[in-house]
Amino acid sequence: MVVRAYSNFCEVLTGGETLTCRLRGRLKLAGHGILTGDRVTIAERGPGTGLVTAVLPRRSELIRPPIANADLAVIVFTTQSPPLNLALVDRLLILARHSGLDAVLCLNKTDLSSPEETAMVVRSFAGARAPLVLTSALTGVNLGELVDFVSGRVAVLAGQSGVGKSTILNVLRPGLDLEVGDLSAKVQRGRHTTRGVRLIPVGDGWVADAPGFVHLDLPALAPARLQEYYPEMAQFAETCRFQDCLHDPEPDCAVKAAVARGEIDAGRYQRYLGFLHELQARPRY
Ligand code: GDP
Ligand code: ZN
């Protein structure tokens, strides 16, 4: 597995040893950029070095961060500092699932949330079919649970700046020493170095050291497909009067009825409508 890819070479983990590898010329010609996370076959060359001879097919491919074969998005958010933004969490859920990743929600800084706020978050995502972990990177609470979710997988941390992604990684991987808090330092580092994304071993799995899904536009989706990202709607949608119901202006909509009965979270549904209208307003080509 490529644990760090640069433009002309990469670091490949094989049987506990990390080899610095160049790309076979033929691969370079084929324009086969290697990504961190790629599974590759290599030929050993000298001590500690090798040659990448083939890149295996990718299960998934992300652009931000540039990483192959990620399985899991850990969507980190807070109720305080920065303030709760549920629409952003919904967007990240849609983006993660659209990229073929499972999602885990991580409400961090629970040391700053009131019990009422935390309970409201739990209710909001009860139907979203993504596990929710309540953490505090400050006190360490429930970080072990997060490690269990990462187990056996390649994970990407996603979420707004300031929610604690670097702090979480630093706690999970002492000695990693990612810069925390100081945004200007992070931006500078991003600008002035061309270091590749690294996969950091965490428990039995891996976490990318660069955050995911920085670009928050909804994916290119037909409006009718948006509801596929709302598992809580599926069972009700079957009994809407119209088979192609978007659960918006249509009469006899079983989804709206479920919202009215409180069986689907009203906030999730309202934000769904906002996203639906956003997709409907997009120019079609
Ligand atoms: P990132 O931008 O998502 O990587 O966020 P950082 O890891 O840089 O954290 C932003 C700020 O929040 C830093 O000052 C951290 O010390 C602080 N922070 C991170 N996690 C927690 C937490 O669980 N509780 C509290 N109170 N502060 C935290
Ligand atoms: Zn409907």
For atom 19 of ligand 1, the residue with the nearest CA is: 164
Q: Give the chain's mean pLDDT.
A: 91
Of the ranges 41-45, 164-168, 179-183, 214-218, which one carries the lowest mean pLDDT score?
179-183
Q: What percent of the chain has pLDDT over 90?
A: 79
pLDDT over 50 (residue 23): yes
- 98 Cα to the center of ligand 1, angstroms: 28
Of the ranges 62-66, 154-158, 269-273, which one carries the lowest mean pLDDT score?
62-66
CA distances from 217 to 1, 90, 109, 250, 275 (A): 30, 12, 26, 26, 10
pTM: 0.92
Q: What is the pLDDT of residues 110-140, one digit of tens each?
A: 999 999 999 999 999 999 999 999 999 999 9
Rg of the chain over CA atoms, in angstroms? 21
Helix (H) or strand (E) holding 232: helix 231-237
Token representation of residue 136 = 């505090």
Q: Is 109 close to ligand 1, i.e. is its CB under 6 Å away?
A: yes
Q: Of 262 and 183, which is predicted with more confidence?
A: 262
Probe ligand 1: pick from 78, 167, 200, max atoms within 8 Å of CB?
Answer: 167
Q: What is the pLDDT of residues 70-101, one digit of tens each?
A: 999 999 999 999 999 999 999 999 999 999 99
Q: Which range among 54-58, 212-216, 243-247 has the greatest average pLDDT?
A: 243-247
Helices (H), 70-228: 86-98, 115-124, 143-150, 165-172, 183-192
For atom 9 of ligand 1, the residue with the nearest CA is: 164
pLDDT value at residue 192: 39
> Are the CB atoms for 62 and 92 separated by under 8 Å?
no
> Are the CB atoms for 38 and 58 separated by under 8 Å?
yes
Q: Of 165 and 31, which is predicted with more confidence?
A: 165
Q: What is the pLDDT of residues 203-227, one digit of tens each?
A: 999 999 998 887 789 999 999 999 9
